[in-house]
Amino acid sequence: MLRGEAMSGDERRRYARYRAPEGVYAAMPDFAERVGPVRNISRGGLLFQYLADENPPGIEAVCECKEGRITVFLSGQGFILRDVSCRMVHDMPADEPTSLAVGYNVRLCGIQFVDLPECFAQRLDVVMSHCPELDEGDKGKA
């Protein structure tokens, strides 16, 4: 079994999720320039947070197009996965939606990788080998 494959059938997820290490970021230029820290990651996708306008016009409409590309990188480490095909699963306000930047709120964006090349998946495995797996309690929060 590859690292990251879920052992339990309790969730609909195919792969186990891991808390992303400090310094891992995601960038989605196709979707209103979303850039921010990754909160959790798996072979199947990731969840990242970003700052958005306080009252973003038509953010739900942006989510409807759903298909796009994402770049994942580890700041200062030379790790980068550029232009990975993905599908936006959800975009919602964070549990702590306020930010220190006036006029902006923190949002969470869930991404599913589409046809992730095996070479990219193996590179993700290397990153995840240094990450703690999320337990059931954490999964509901992130």
Summarize pLDDT for 61-84 with one digit per residue, the tens: 455 557 889 999 988 777 888 989
DSSP bridge partners of 34 = 28
Helices (runs of H) and strands (runs of E) counted in the chain: 3, 7
In degrees, rounded to 5, the angle at the alpha carbon of residue 120 between the alpha carbons of residues 34 and 79 is 65
What is the tens place of the pLDDT at every residue in 41-68? 999 999 999 988 766 555 554 555 578 8
How confident is the prediction for the chain on average, in pLDDT? Answer: 78
Residue 34 CB-density burial (10 A; 0-12 exposed, 13-18 middle, 19+ buried)? buried
Local structure of residue 6 (DSSP, 8 states)? -
Q: Which of 67, 59, 68, 114 is nearest to 91 (CA)?
A: 59
Query: What's this model's pTM, rounded to 2 decimal places?
Result: 0.77
